[in-house]
Amino acid sequence: MKLNKILSVAVVALFGLGMSSCVNDLNVENINPQQNTEFNQDAVFNNVYGNFGLTGLNWDSDPDTYSTDAGGGQSGLLRQLWNANELTTDEAHCVWGDAGIPEFDHNMCGDSHPMLRMFYDRAYFGITLCNFFLDETADASDEYTLRQRAEVRFLRAYTYLQVTDLFGDIAWLDHISTEYAEKKSRQWMFEWIEGELKAICGDAESNEVLAEPRTNTYGRVDKAAAWLLLSRLYLNAEVYTGTARWADAKTYAQKTINSGYSLHKAGSGMYSAYQMLFMGDNNENGAQNENIFVVLQDGERTRSYGCGLFFICAMKDGDLDADYPCGSSKNWGGNHARPQFVKKFFPNDDAPAGTPFDLALSAGDDRALFYTKGHTLDITDESAFTSGYAYIKFIGVRSDGGATSDASGEFPDNDIPVLRLAEAYLTFAEADARMNGGTCSGEALNYVKELRSRAHANSDLGSFTLNQILDEWSREFGWEGRRRMDLIRFGLYGGQSTYKWQWMGGVYDGAQFGADQNIFPIPSTDRTANPNLQ
């Protein structure tokens, strides 16, 4: 789709300003005093957003951060966030032998893991951009800049939360400094992120406040994004701090639900309303009413192998694409579904051979977007894409059948949802169940019913338990990059003996791994560079 105002100004990276990001200690210092280092406010503001979907000014051939010979596209923020949160769980498995993939597949990540380093460096590059912008605008008092500052603070808080979730105790700075970044505990980071989000959504005293819900330019965050991220923070509070905050999770989920966003419920032609959330026209087909924070993609102007293209091409091969067009000419055949994910829709292992249209109809659930022709349920061969069902959630075609922006047919237009309203529904339901003996009821149950009704799944429910809610998280948000967090919160990840999935721990039938894998090790490169880290 065509980009809006976020990227309409020429994107200028810090490198283009004569600045260099030192990720290891979050410093930014001038490496060429002869260059013009005049601060371009809108350019840096745009680059703060752009870091979520781009890897560099010259797209993947000149990435801003560390990558490998495989290409700069591997360093995409959402790509590596997805790998860390999906390949390590019961939802997805990858057949590629790229350095780091087998370790993700088998829950065996060490401090030299190259893809964890890619995510870590990309995240801190983004944090550094945020700090640079906030330092340079610290004395501003005009409404235009104050609004930009609130958005940058949100994006920094979001990124810090992702780093905290993955790595536990982490490096922190809120400004550009020549000092080493301090090491902060998860508890401290929780409280800092909470304070930042409350300030910018107007729930604490601040003159830097986000726009009211649904009033900002599409693609830019508003108060609803902060409320939803707060509800996620509180939902995981017990993991991060040892103290549950279920009531607060419900409160901010309810604020999000009441914010003016709405579930997209109207399908178009052959495509269900659920599919339309992830299609090439999801900025205008009604999905924009549900998607609260998206990473903008445009097939002509935001080309990268680390964002939208990855979410389509890594999930399909040529045979699949010929039978079920996905909107891109690239076919990478990498990620397929573990059988435990398939069983969320087909508990009796009776999925038919067919396309996502066939599978959704057979499952009685629009979210069962599997492709099974020529594929087996079990992953008996870890190197074969057809050993395991394909799962096709993101497609680049438009629901109205219109043309996409890239004439070559390679790069997609579909914006990638990062926060969408449906999360508030399940957060409210889970928090309610945890506060009421393990079963949600009343308004909380109605929210679950509404989600299932939208998916044409059975919504004639008398009750819904915590275990059912965990499965519903997987059905509703499968392959959206959050599964690891949910399994940890439910005590079904590392250090438990209750639940196994295929190739868990590197064994076909699954083998438990230690609780130490509930957080990833900070890359050794950063620990070596910063003596404050352990």
Which of 32-36, 176-180, 262-266 is least confident? 32-36
Residues 6+ apart with CB under 8 A from 85: 481, 482, 483, 484, 485
Q: How far apart are CA 155 and CA 49, in angstroms?
A: 8
Q: Report pLDDT for 65.
A: 64
User: CB count, 10 Å around CB of 147?
Assistant: 18
In a domain, 107, yes or no: yes
Contact 395, 275 (CB under 8 A): yes
Cα gap 152→250, rounded to integer Å: 26
What amino acid is encoded at 501 in this protein?
A: W
Q: Give the tens place of pLDDT for each residue, 511-520.
A: 999 999 999 9
Q: Residue 35: what pLDDT?
A: 45
pLDDT number for residue 223: 98
More confident residue, 303 or 150: 150
Q: Does the pLDDT at position 62 exceed 80?
A: no
* Residue 373 placed within a domain: no
Tell me the three state secondary structure of residue 64: coil
pLDDT attached to residue 12: 35
**What is the pLDDT at residue 302?**
86
Instruction: Determine the Cα–Cα distance for residues 194 and 217; give it in Å rounded to an integer.
Output: 25
Identify residue 5 by its one-letter amino acid code: K
> What percent of the chain has a predicted confidence (pLDDT) above 70?
90
Q: Which of 154, 187, 158 is nearest to 170 (CA)?
A: 187
Domain residues for the domain of 157 are 1-184+491-534
Distance CA 453, CA 24 (A): 48
Indicate if the pLDDT at residue 221 is higher than 90: yes
pLDDT for res 408: 86
The rounded distance, in Å, linking the Cα atoms of 179 and 25 is 7
> What is the C-alpha to C-alpha distance for residues 479 and 495, in angstroms, rounded to an integer?
23
Task: Encode pLDDT of 173-198 as tens digits.
Answer: 999 999 999 999 999 999 999 999 99
pLDDT digits (tens, 9 = 90+) for 420-479: 999 999 999 999 999 999 999 999 999 999 999 999 999 999 999 999 999 999 999 999
What's residue 66's pLDDT? 57
Q: For the chain, what is the radius of gyration of the CA atoms? A: 22
Q: Which pLDDT score is estimated for 58?
A: 62
Residue 99 lies in a domain: yes
Average pLDDT over residues 267-285: 97
Counting the structural domains of the chain, the total is: 1
Q: Return the pLDDT at 14.
A: 39
Between the CA of residue 310 and those of 77, 114, 330, 332, what are the distances in Å?
Answer: 11, 18, 10, 9
Residue 21's pLDDT band, with cuts at 50, 70 and 90, is very low
Share of the chain above pLDDT 90, in %: 86
For residues 365 and 475, the answer to whether their CB atoms sit within 8 Å is yes
Cβ atoms 119, 80 nearer than 8 A: yes
Q: Answer yes or no: is pLDDT of 129 > 60.
A: yes
3-state secondary structure of 280: coil
- What is the rounded average pLDDT for all residues in the chain? 91
Closest CA to 66 of 128, 125, 133, 109: 125
Instruction: Identify whether the C-beta of residue 450 lies closer than 8 Å to the C-beta of residue 425.
Output: yes
Q: What is the CATH number of the domain that holds 2?
A: 1.25.40.390
Question: Does 452 fall in a domain?
Answer: no
**Mean pLDDT in residue range 150-165:** 98
Continuous segment of H or E residues that includes residue 292:
strand 291-295
Residue 303 has a pLDDT of 86
Higher pLDDT among residues 301 and 169, named by residue: 169
Contact 90, 340 (CB under 8 A): yes
Q: What is the pLDDT of residue 60?
A: 55
| Inside any domain, residue 7 | yes
Q: Which of 25-34, 90-99, 198-207 has the highest mean pLDDT?
A: 90-99
Q: Is residue 80 part of a domain?
A: yes
Instruction: Return d(Cα 435, Cα 440) in angstroms, integer.
Output: 9
In a domain, 216, yes or no: no
90-124 pLDDT per residue, tens: 999 999 999 999 999 999 999 999 999 999 999 99
